[in-house]
Amino acid sequence: METFVARQPIFDRRRRLCAYELLFREGPVNAFPGIDGDAASAKVLSDCFLGVGLERLTGGHKAFVNFSGRFLLQQVPALFPRDQIVVEVLEDVVPDRELITACRALVARGYTLALDDFVYREELRPLVELASIVKIDFRNAACGRVQETVAWLAGYPAKLLAEKVETGEEFARATAMGFTYFQGYFFSRPEVVRGRELEPSQASLFQVLAEVHRQEVDIARLEALFKADLAMAYKLLCYINSAFFHRGRDIESIRHAIVLLGLREVRQLIALLMTARLAGDKPDALVRSSIVRARFCERLGQRSHFRDDGNELFLLGLFSLMDAILDMEMPLILERLPLGVHLKQALLQGTGPLAGFLEVVQAYESGCWDACLARATDGGICVTHLVEDYLEAIGWADALPLA
């Protein structure tokens, strides 16, 4: 049975990626016939950690993983490397003597304990004393007394993690309140400044991006674009020489690299480089997320009946976070680019033949598996290779020399 797994980034106060929370499920049916739910989840954990591999999922960062009360009692987290995981205690656990003892044993073994979706209850005090991290839903209306909860936790050594922080304004408020870590697709919503225009350097980058996505591209002109920008030329050569893309041949010139890659991949590379350079001081994980979306959308298109060379779907995923990257309204961004009507429909209204692909990707990222599978099925997208394609997209994005 296939294991569904996705990741959500966690940042520190300096906006650096420091961990991922892993979301997982064993597939369309949430239990194995004749086996209880915890046993099914145990197989998921085994497949996720031993089959897929943590390094592939997190790129060397720590993984936050949810464990049920029963798993904690059985010391299941101890089966996994303590320096690679953070043990998340679910909010619905019963903090009785046996559970507290089990958590104390894990901490004694060197495991990091985090309390998920924390809402103050006096009976949780023993767990708070053991925890290194306490997670609070920063945007949940039911947790409106966040400041009071923060004040109550001030007497404990645990660091605070604000969940669902998605804008710069929310990040600033959470930082001021004393949070150390921040979870979500950080800055995935734009801080729109009314009347803002593209700055000169950004405008020139968009002109290059528009040029290479025209129907007729002159290879000589494309070579000149690379030669005029040393950083782009260097990234082109790094890209083609990386382990993920290596063709096994020595590169003799910029033109040679372009010919070996092919126009389609060169177009994608320029789009990626432009996205990274336009991101400015935004978290690297936001750019990586847009790149994962681009590759994932492209792969989904290959698994469907939709006729596309991959370029439109690639740009769909890549541009889906461009408003957050540039802190600009999407219509202003798109009016500068010669993109197809279907691509603009999907990005602006969420309609048209391309919109369903982005909906599948967004549902997958959020761990909304039922919605993801339903939307994929409705859109004629084969679901058999969803996980494989997502993991391939992560590996592809992480291998890109964008830094």
Q: Do the strands 85-89 and 181-183 form a parallel or antiparallel pair, or are they unpaired?
A: unpaired
Q: Which residue reads 């920008």 in tokens?
A: 229
Q: How far apart are CA 108 and CA 126, in angstroms?
A: 15
The CATH 3.20.20.450 domain(s) of the chain lie at 4-183
pLDDT tens, residue order, the chain (403 aa) = 456 788 889 999 988 899 999 887 655 544 334 444 465 456 556 666 666 677 778 888 999 988 889 889 999 899 888 999 999 998 888 999 999 999 999 999 999 999 999 988 899 999 999 999 999 998 775 556 788 889 889 989 999 999 988 887 888 889 999 999 999 876 677 665 555 555 545 655 666 666 666 667 777 777 777 776 666 777 777 777 664 555 555 666 777 887 777 777 777 777 787 787 777 777 788 888 999 999 999 999 988 887 765 578 988 998 899 888 888 888 888 876 767 889 999 999 999 999 999 999 999 998 898 899 999 998 888 888 898 999 999 988 887 766 5
Q: How far apart are CA 289 and CA 317, in angstroms?
A: 9
The secondary structure of the chain in percent helix, strand, coil, rounded to multiples of 5, reads 50, 10, 35
Query: What six digits make up the tokens of 353?
Result: 């033949």
The CATH fold of domain 4-183: TIM Barrel (3.20.20)
E-strand stretches of 205-347: none
| Coil vs helix vs strand at 313 | helix
This prediction's pTM: 0.80
Report in angstroms the alpha-carbon separations of 245 from 6, 55, 266. Answer: 24, 19, 13
CATH class of 200-399: mainly alpha
The CATH 1.10.3210.10 domain(s) of the chain lie at 200-399
